[in-house]
Structures are given as structure tokens and as C-alpha cells.
């Protein structure tokens, strides 16, 4: 199954249903269900900003459906969705629209860049 590594606290905000769009610098044709992997290294500034101190790292923490990809053509379009992605324009101009997010019991796993294949027998 495909997986996507996301730094904490962004992965947690997705699991809480607060972050509905994941910003990336690259587009993808992939649509469908994937695993959310919490990266080994957190975004320390964002952890403080959102009041988190101890979140799972280096493990799969949930699953979601990539329903669509938005291409932001300018800063105004990007700013209009700020409450859905919490990102700064420098993060990228592709918004991965997430639906059907589900938290799962954390499973230790090594992450990777982009969408990557996670294969574990008996998982999900």
C-alpha cells in the first residue's frame, strides 16, 4: 500500500481533521487510499506553535484518501485555503485534498520521500 511521510505536528493535525490539504512542491496522478507516516524528525517550530510536545515519530499513524490535487496558481488562491492547509507559500503550490482520514495504532516504519510502498503482511 502507498504511504506518505509527513512531519509532526502536521500528521496529527490531519488525523484530528483540522488539516484537510497537504501542500507539496510536486504533483501526482495518484488518487486513492494511502497510509500516513509520521516522519522521524518533527517540525519543532510548528510543534511549539500548535502546543504539542510528544507525538508519535517514525511510524504509520493513520490512513487517508487522496481525493484530488489543487494547483495553486497564485498567492491569493493559496491564501484562500490557508485554514485548510496552514502552510506558507514556500512549501509548494500543489494541495493534496484529503478525505476519509482514520487514525490507527502506530506501527514503527521507516519513511521515504514522495509516495512509497509499505508492505507488511497482515497490516490493514
Q: What's this model's pTM, rounded to 2 decimal places?
A: 0.94
What is the per-residue pLDDT for 89? 84
Structural domain spans, the chain: 2-117
> What pairs with residue 39 in β-bridges?
none
**pLDDT of res. 121:** 58
Instruction: Report the topology of domain 2-117.
Output: 2.30.130
Half-sphere exposure of 66 (CA within 13 A, CB side): 21
Give the ranges where 21-91 is alpha helix by DSSP (H): 44-49, 75-80, 82-85
- Write the pLDDT tens digit of every residue in 69-124: 999 999 999 999 999 999 988 899 999 999 999 999 999 999 999 999 998 755 55
Amino acid at each position: 500500500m502507498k504511504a506518505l511521510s509527513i512531519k509532526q505536528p502536521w500528521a496529527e493535525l490531519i488525523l484530528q481533521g483540522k488539516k484537510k490539504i497537504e501542500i507539496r512542491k510536486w504533483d501526482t496522478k495518484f488518487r486513492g487510499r494511502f497510509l500516513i507516516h509520521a516522519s522521524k524528525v518533527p517540525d519543532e517550530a510548528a510543534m511549539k506553535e500548535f502546543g504539542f510536545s510528544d507525538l508519535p515519530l517514525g511510524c504509520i499513524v493513520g490512513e487517508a484518501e487522496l481525493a484530488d490535487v489543487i494547483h495553486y496558481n497564485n498567492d491569493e488562491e493559496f491564501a484562500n485555503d490557508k485554514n485548510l492547509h496552514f502552510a506558507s507559500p514556500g512549501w509548494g503550490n500543489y494541495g493534496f485534498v484529503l478525505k476519509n482520514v482514520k487514525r490507527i495504532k502506530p506501527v514503527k516504519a521507516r519513511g521515504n520521500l514522495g509516495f512509497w510502498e509499505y508492505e507488511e503482511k497482515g497490516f490493514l
